[in-house]
Amino acid sequence: MSKGFASNLRMTLLAAGVLACFLCVGARLVYLHVIDRDELLKYVDRARRQIVVEHARRGAILDAKGNLLATSRSYVTLGADPELLRPEDEAAWPQLAALLNLPAADLAGTLHRGMAAGKAAAAAPVAPDAAHEKRVRWLKLADEVDETVFDRITKLNIRGIYGSRGYKRVYPAGELAAHVLGYVNRDGTPVAGAEKHLDLYLKGEDGWIESEKDGARHELAQFRSRDVPARDGDDVVLTIDAVIQHMIEDELRSIAAKFDPHFASIIVSDPQTGRILGMANYPTFNLNEFSKAPLDAQRNHAVADIIEPGSVFKIVAAGAALDQDLVTPATTFDCGETTILYKGRQLKLPKEDEPFGELTVADIVAHSSNRGAAQLAMLMGEDKFYEYARRYGFGQLTQFQLGGERTGMLESPKNWDGLTITRMPMGHAVAATPLQIHMAMSAVANGGALLRPQIIREIRDKSGEVVRDFPPEKREQVLRPGTAALLAQLLTRVLTEGTAKGSDIPGFELAGKTGTTQKIIDGKYVNNRHVASFVGFFPASRPQIVLSVIVDDAKVPGGIAYGRAVSAPSFKHLAEQLIEYLDIKPAMVPAQGLLALTGGVR
């Protein structure tokens, strides 16, 4: 049997030596892990630990056809770490300056100063902590550098030049639907419109990664202790059609050039669903340059301003009287009288634009007789008239989904003075937003049903799945369907033989009502400033489009800004374009069409 190769003494010494070494290592470990633990952990945390926030991408806003109206684009904030800059890279600095559109000398000066400061901080005889605080590791060189430019900068391979990525909101179509979309300001706060009111869907949720980094600041992915992925925002699909929106904005530009109004609004909607296909205002602004736009230009006048509806309001009196079977279209009224006996009092009737005699209800609507409308309202009395005005949606919010709207003004009969029953039917002593007026007309076009205006079509998640849709919402049955159809037919006569004669498009049964109302300045009606409007729909027998053109304080040289002169031509022009774009078929074949079909001369 072997005696072994070591003596007991040697073995004991070796064991003691190994044990001593282990004890030393153990003691050191105890010192590092127990006694010096907090201090070291603080240092390690500062040096290696990092929490990287992953910003969620804000959802896009699309029109009804899927055209992009608002999206987020990444940009890079470019900076330098002066401590990592190398003198041998200086040759590439002029190219960097050229890519950033900066003078080469300025950039070189900034980087040299940074390098000098970095060296000074590193050499300063101060405590390590203080030195860490004073070291400059980030010198901003440029804001909002494009990704393509940043790619080219990266290819220059300059050590110490870094980019910090962020997202900014861009609006590819510029000023298209500016008041509907709203915008996100430089701080990333949504300020108005869909951006603000649908922020809950659009913003998404930021994620974060908790991990460690190495000496070169690269993430050590294997040490990720927590990885919460960002959830990108949902996409919002609006009911707006970009082409229709462009048409109405183009028309507004033309109105502005011709009449220099205080403001003007045009709204287009589908009467069957309440979906708004276009909503635009003048003045407007470019969403990509919102900071340059005055506050007035950012105002959505279509919902935020109230005006007296003027003669458009006559649809209330006419509709209500027909709906209660108080009159028929052939019932006549004496519209030549200047006073009328009502509830034992002799009331003065409002003035007419032109002298009338006996008029039927159909003529009262077509020729917009103020006295006729007053008599229709008197026939049903204050309470019933007020009830119908409320049913049409006046004096109430339309529940517009993007908010910012005003209620308008519709006093209850107990607050009316003696003349209100003669003035309100012609659209005085009542105030409404352009959208309220539009929706009231839309009720006539929709078989008497008042709908909630819809501007949001659906919400889609990142994969394109619809997470929420917005079906039509009925608010009120204003008129019986038969009454609404009858009133629609009466309104076609406004364009064929009434106040907007000549604005018709043969075959397409345009129906509508002109409105001209004096503005109230300092509490008094003035003769030289008006709100001109034309609100209508087509084709009258199966309405597909409701269209409102409202122009506030149009300047008409040497004349009054009548609805027929200011708004009706725009209504007709837009109707022609909409008929072509939406391929609306004529309700009846016009004579001109017959010529075309048979190859006749146009």
Partner 1 sequence: MRPPPPNALVNKIVALTLCLLVFSGTLGLGAVWVRQEIFSTANRVRIAQARIADVERQLDEVTAGVATALSPETLLRRNEMLRLGLGAPREVQVVRVDESPELRLVAKHNREVFTLANASFSGAAPITFRLASASP
Residues that bind partner 1 (CB under 8 A): 1-6, 8, 11, 57, 67-69, 71-74, 147-148, 170, 172-174, 176, 219-222, 224, 242-243, 246, 505, 576-577, 579-581, 585-586, 589, 592-593, 596-597, 602
Rounded CA gap, 560 and 516, in Å?
9
Q: What is the DSSP letter of 584?
A: P
The closest alpha carbon to 431, from 411, 455, 410, belongs to 410
> Which amino acid is residue 200, in one-letter code?
L
Per-position DSSP letters for 44-75, written without gaps between them: HHHHHEEEEEEPPPPPPEE-TT--EEEEEEEE
Nearest to 244 by CA among 277, 271, 267, 281: 277
Nearer to partner 1, 235 or 405 (CB): 235
Q: DSSP string of 269-328?
A: E-TTT-BEEEEEEES---GGGGGGS-GGGG--HHHH--B--GGGGHHHHHHHHHHTTS--
Q: Based on the number of CB atoms within 10 Å of its own CB, is 414 exposed (0-12), middle (13-18) or buried (19 or more)? A: exposed
Give min distance, CB of 180 to partner 1, in A. Answer: 15
Q: Which is nearer to partner 1, 549 or 579 (CB)?
A: 579
Minimum CB separation from partner 1 for residue 73, in Å? 5
* Shortest reach from residue 312's CB to partner 1, in Å: 26
| Shortest distance, position 592 Cβ to partner 1, whole Å | 7
Phi then psi for residue 422, to 5 deg, are -95, -20
Give 124 or 589: the residue with its C-beta nearer to partner 1: 589
Residue 242 vs 444, nearer CB to partner 1: 242
Which C-beta is closer to partner 1: that of 18 or that of 105?
18
d(CA 298, CA 177): 11
We find the least distance from the C-beta atom of residue 281 to partner 1, in angstroms, to be 17
- Cβ closest to partner 1, residue 70 vs residue 366: 70
**Residue 246: CB minimum distance to partner 1, A:** 4
Answer for the pair 318, 368: CB distance below 8 angstroms, yes or no. no
Each residue of 31-55: b (16+ CB within 10 Å) or e? eeeeeeeeeeeeeeeeeeeeeeeeb
Nearer to partner 1, 202 or 485 (CB): 202
DSSP state of 224: -
- Give the shortest CB-209-to-partner 1 separation in angstroms: 9
Report, in Å, the least distance between residue 317 CB and partner 1: 34
Between 174 and 381, name the residue whose CB sits nearer to partner 1. Answer: 174
> Shortest gap between Cβ of 54 and partner 1 (angstroms)?
9
* Residue (338 or 592) nearer to partner 1, CB: 592
Provide the strand spans (E) within 343-471.
345-348, 358-360, 449-451, 456-460, 466-469
Distances (CA, A) of 429 to 422, 447, 526, 527, 553: 10, 27, 15, 17, 18
